[in-house]
Amino acid sequence: MGKIKVAINGFGTIGKRVADAIDAQDDMEIIGVTKTGPSFGCDLAVKKGFPLYCTFDDEARIAAFGEQGYECSGGISDLLAAADVVVDCSPGKMGADNLAKYQAAGIKHLFQGGEKHSLTGLSYTSCANHEANLNAEGTRVVSCNTTGLSRTLVPLYEHCGSLQV
């Protein structure tokens, strides 16, 4: 089996960190990252060898990358068509629009924080509900605060059987 082809939609503060984690995996490859337009963040993507895509499918916005000296491989639809899974690292409140794109492309999707549980009906944290998320079409990763709480509370609950105070 070949490597899992991962798209990262949103190469900002969160997306850069996600990209580093995925890039360190032997069984995954980053096939592209998105930016809304040409900016200093594109320099890091180019330096790391990640193909750039535009967050939008608008030809003028895609062309703007080239006008600033960046090679843009296409729009979000092009990236999704080539990927096995997309990690959505876009700003909060964009999830519903992006979810529709992911579903239309038939691609598995993972939202990184900023979105409500109701968007996917699943929320993931490795220490509490890993199995519930296996084979799901999409989920969201809970916030760092929720992750920290679950790492503390889940073992206490498993050991004590109750968290009533």
- Contacts within 8 Å (CB) and 24+ apart, 19-28: 19/45, 19/48, 19/50, 22/87, 23/48, 27/3, 28/3, 28/4
Identify the active-site residue in 42, 89, 144, 160: 144
Which residue in 13, 8, 12 sits closest to 37, CA to CA? 12
For the chain, list the strands marked E by DSSP: 4-9, 28-35, 52-54, 85-88, 108-112, 123-124, 138-141
- Residue 144 designated active-site: yes
Quick one: tokens of 101? 């794109």
Residues 145 and 162: beta-carbon distance below 8 Å: no
By annotation, the residues acting in catalysis are 144
